[in-house]
Structure 1
Amino acid sequence: MGEIDWADRAFYDDGEWVTWSEIDEQLRYKEWGAKYPNANRSIIPYFEDLISLAESFHLETGLHLSVYGDIGELFGAITYGIELNKTYAQGSDGRLGNDHVEIKTITPFKSKDVVVVDTTRHFSKLLVVKINEEFQVAGRMIDRKLLPKRTGRFLRIRWDNLPSAPR
């Protein structure tokens, strides 16, 4: 029988040892749930691992991984309850009830907090996710009908022009 690592043991409950890391994980999930009632808690570990990997890689190499779009989509699924479409599906990135949602991500290395939206895509809501230089993540959603009207296929949206009201 192996040695017990007593340093990580918190207490004995219901016939097994509960560790501090397990308690920390449960508290983090409760925090996500309190802040985001529609949170899809099952994908929180993937989001946290991916953002941590992107940050660590950047700190180590000065380079960026091509994962920020995925981080933005996971953030939308967790915080807004968006059901993501299959990878490379035509149309939008996911659904929120009957609404099709397009998700755009502002990466930490962009010089301007702007996204370009293809207005020919099929969506009724736009979620813009911003990952700043400290790898903190925030999101703002807007109905398509509230986007500025303009001619042409592409629309540039500034982060500062998006509403920051609660969901």
Structure 2
Amino acid sequence: MEEIDWSDRAFYDDGEWVTWSEIDEQLRYKEWGAKYPNAIRSMIPYFEDLLSLAESYHLETGLHLSVYGDIGELFGAITYGIKLNKTYAQGADGRLGNDHVEVKTITPFKTKDVVVVDTNGHFNKLLVVKINEDFQVSGRMIDRKDLPKREGRYLRVRWGDLPTPK
């Protein structure tokens, strides 16, 4: 006879057991949805797992995995509703309505909160995602027309110069 693990069982509802982990997951999804109404909630587990992996790998080895760009893009999909383009698609990282969005990520090991943007890219909006040394993630978006004007192909954008979300 199979032994039942009761440790994660919360209650019996409509002929099925509901577990504490399922309740926790639903609460997290509601929290993301309340904070970010355009959230693509199906991406939340991938974002959380990848961020957790990057953090635990760093704590274990002192090294960093090359996943921070992906974490930044997933954060944009979840928080802003950006529909991500295929990997290595030319132009921008995704679309937000009719706008093409370029996502740049400030990694936890960077000494300066600056990203370099190729102004030859085809984008209308820039999302800068910052992952700090405690692996907390935040983002700031700006319209391309509001970026500083300068000569040359590459533009350095400072986190502190970006508008804070409302």
TM-score tier (shorter)? over 0.9
Deviation at 1:6, TM superposition (A): 1.1
> Displacement of 1:136 after TM fit?
0.4
* CA distance in 1: counterparts of 2:89 and 2:133, whole angstroms: 30
Amino acid at match of 1:144: R
- Aligned twin of 1:2: 2
Cα offsets for 1:97-133 (capped at 9, x unmatched): 0000000000000000000000000000000000000
For 2:137, the equivalent position in structure 1 comes to 137
Q: Partners in 1 of 2:123 and 2:31 — Cα distance?
A: 30
The whole-number CA distance in structure 1 between the counterparts of 2:96 and 2:154 is 23
Aligned CA-pair RMSD: 0.6
2:86 corresponds to:
86
Displacement after TM superposition at 1:3 (Å): 1.0
Show the counterpart of 2:123. Answer: 123
Aligned partner of 1:100 in structure 2 is: 100
Q: Look up the match of 1:26.
A: 26
Indicate the residue corresponding to 2:77 in structure 1: 77
Any idea what the Cα deviations from partners look like across 1:45-75, whole Å, max 9, x if unmatched?
Answer: 0000000000000000000000000000000
Q: Residue 165 of structure 1: CA displacement?
A: 2.8
Structure 2 match to 1:46: 46
CA positional deviation for 1:2: 1.7
TM-superposed deviation, 1:78? 0.4
Runs of 4+ in 1 over 3 A off after TM superposition: none
Letter in structure 2 aligned against 1:75:
F
Q: Distance in 1 between matches of 2:23 and 2:153?
A: 49
What code does the residue aligned with 1:53 have?
A: L
| Partner amino acid, structure 1, of 2:103 | I
Alignment partners' CA distance in 2, 1:43 and 1:120: 29
| TM-score, with length taken from structure 1 | 0.98
Instruction: Work out the CA distance in 1 between the residues paired with 2:165 and 2:38.
Output: 16
Gaps of 5+ in 1: none
> How many residue pairs get matched?
166
